[in-house]
Amino acid sequence: MAEQTAQGSYVEAGEFKRDTNYVPTRITRDGADGFTPEAGRYRLVVARACPWANRAVIVRRLLGLEDAISMGMCGPTHDARSWTFDLDPGGRDPVLGYERLQEAYLALDPDYPKGITVPALVDVTTGKLVTNDYPQMTLDLSTEWGDLHREGAPDLYPEALRDEIDEMAYRNFTEVNNGVYRCGFAGSQQAYDTAYDRLFTRLDHLEEHLSTRRYLVGDTVTEADVRLFTTLVRFDAVYHGHFKCNRQKLVEMPVLWAYTRDLFQTPGFGDTTDFVQIKQHYYLTHTDINPTRIVPKGPDVRGFLTPHGRDELGGRPFGDGTPPGPPTPDEVVPAENWVPTA
């Protein structure tokens, strides 16, 4: 018997299962699925709270696609039906006119049977969902949208390293990105114990792997780093306590803590992170885990701005490219939500 839990997932026989069957439509140069990269045609709908959506926000910013792909922002919480645009005036997305992201899914398929997930790319001309396949989405932003990248955009998915990046990303997904959820939503002690052991076995491996190299693959930031970062940056604020991933905090794993600080201080990473929304999402939405809906005040995240020393390992975050400029004014994370001063 399967029990529904987080959107797009369920618990079966005590073990958390993520439904990874997304709408597979792609936006590609050849238009094989009927969609080609076009400036202004698509809207990326995200929630800053969501680690999967945070990936797309980071990649879009690193590649300088802000002018080509507009971004709609859902609030940090959702109900059983959908993510909502409660941050916008009148509770409606100003471009799509929708109150709920669900409306874009139903415009594509009135009988859409699965969870309403972010990130989602929506065709502004029709109001219909194009895809919510977040792993492929960010790869396509790198490989299919090149004509619209900013000058100096980094190569986040270099062809010579793709097999290595894919393998690293897959292992980190099964054990870490999804592993924290397998701990948090475990429906039995055995399922939790297994997920916990797998998670920290992988984190120990990454601690060793990153002790002699600045980035996961090669000597520049790649897709693999983006994918791991969005879990690590949430670890102490959410996963350590809320999801019972409590063998150690991130700040107690010296290599991973320094690695995360290095990325956090890299333009496009920390400045897209909203700790207030992150905590609100997990602690207010998961009432089965946190029935009181009390949002913790900590942890103190000012440590993310302390020196990391990782540059001594060499490497250049953007390779032959350049850092992105500052966020556009309407996409700046409030300072008190990014790194609170007290």
Let me know if 181 is a catalytic residue: yes
Give me the pLDDT at residue 19, please.
Answer: 76
Distance of alpha carbon 135 from alpha carbon 215, whole angstroms:
20
Per-residue pLDDT band at 2 (split at 50, 70, 90): very low
Is the model's pLDDT at 13 over the cut of 70? no
- Cβ atoms of 59 and 153 within 8 Å: the answer is no
Length of the chain equals 342
**Per-residue pLDDT tens over the stretch 243-285:** 999 999 999 999 999 999 999 999 999 999 999 999 999 999 9
Instruction: Tell me the domains of the chain and their CATH numbers.
Output: 2-148 (3.40.30.10), 159-338 (1.20.1050.10)
> What mean pLDDT do residues 94-100 have?
98
CB–CB of 49/76 below 8 Å?
Answer: yes
pLDDT value, residue 52? 98
Say whether 245 is catalytic.
Answer: no
Q: Which of 22, 42, 50, 183 is catalytic?
A: 50
Secondary structure (3-state) at 233: coil
83 is in an annotated binding site: yes
Give 61-72 as a 3 state SS string: HHHCCCCCCEEE
Q: How far is CA 321 from the centre of its chain?
A: 23
Query: What digits encode the pLDDT tens for the residues 158-188?
Result: 999 999 999 999 999 999 999 999 999 999 9
Q: How confident is the model at residue 7 (pLDDT cuts 50, 70, 90)?
A: low
Q: 42, 98, 157, 181: which one is catalytic?
A: 181
The dihedral sign for the CA sequence 90, 8, 34, 110: negative
Residue 63's pLDDT is 98
